[in-house]
Structure 1
Amino acid sequence: MDDVISQRELRNNSAAVMDAVENGETFRITRNGVEVAELRPITRRRKLSAEELVTRHRRLAHVDAAAMRADADAFFGTEDRVGEDDPWSRPRG
């Protein structure tokens, strides 16, 4: 449940309020009795291990590059397509 505190209470007890936020609490801040803001912890994602990244990568859907190229050519056309001498091309696989 969110705690409701006044702007003055936030100002006078900012260190304690920030400690509580750091520990997961959320506060709704009022000014003249009207709620104007919410102070809550930032949700941070933990870093994934190499093994977790590999596992996620293996779960990705297979992309058929030839079918994707055919769809793109059908939609955009081939007139402005860069040729085989494209200096920015990379090996596909």
Structure 2
Amino acid sequence: MATQPEITQRDLRNKSKEIMDAVEHGQAFTVTRDGHRIGELIPLRTRRRFVARVEFAAASRGAPPIDLDAFRADQDAAAEHDSGDPYAR
């Protein structure tokens, strides 16, 4: 298991641009002060992105057709359809 590099609090202050650029590209760091580990600087997980309509359509072309009657039957079987008062005890 590879350990992440240690940087001092002073390096974090003085070289913040270079360190933040490295974090943006996936590098993680352990921050130290007076020789003691005090925290970790890690990149955020990648955020979800929306897929363009054209990409979605292209990816969906190979999908099997949906049987709407079977889909509805599956929904009905999975859901409880109680017309009573949901707050009654």
| TM-score, structure 2 normalization | 0.57
User: What SS does the aligned partner of 2:38 have?
Assistant: strand
What is the distance in 2 between the residues matched to 1:68 and 1:79?
11
Structure 2: runs of 5+ lacking an equivalent: 67-73
Judged with a 3 Å threshold, the aligned counterparts in structure 2 of structure 1 residues 7 and 68 are, in CA distance, closer, same or farther, namely same
Q: How many residues align?
A: 70
RMSD value, Cα? 3.2
Give the ranges of 4+ consecutive aligned residues of structure 1 lying more than 3 Å apart after TM superposition.
Answer: none
Q: Does 1:78 align with 2:71?
A: no
For residues 1-93 of structure 1, the aligned pairs below 5 Å read: 1=2, 2-49=4-51, 50=53, 51=56, 62-64=74-76, 67-70=79-82, 78=85, 80=87
| TM-score, structure 1 normalization | 0.55
Residue identity (%): 39
Structure 1: runs of 5+ lacking an equivalent: 82-93
User: What SS does the aligned partner of 2:11 have?
Assistant: helix
What is the distance in 2 between the residues matched to 1:4 and 1:48?
36
Deviations 1:32-77 (A, max 9, x none): 211111111111234242528x77xx8xxx432784233xx7xxx6
Which residue in the other structure is 1:88 paired with? Answer: none
What is the distance in 2 between the residues matched to 1:8 and 1:79?
60
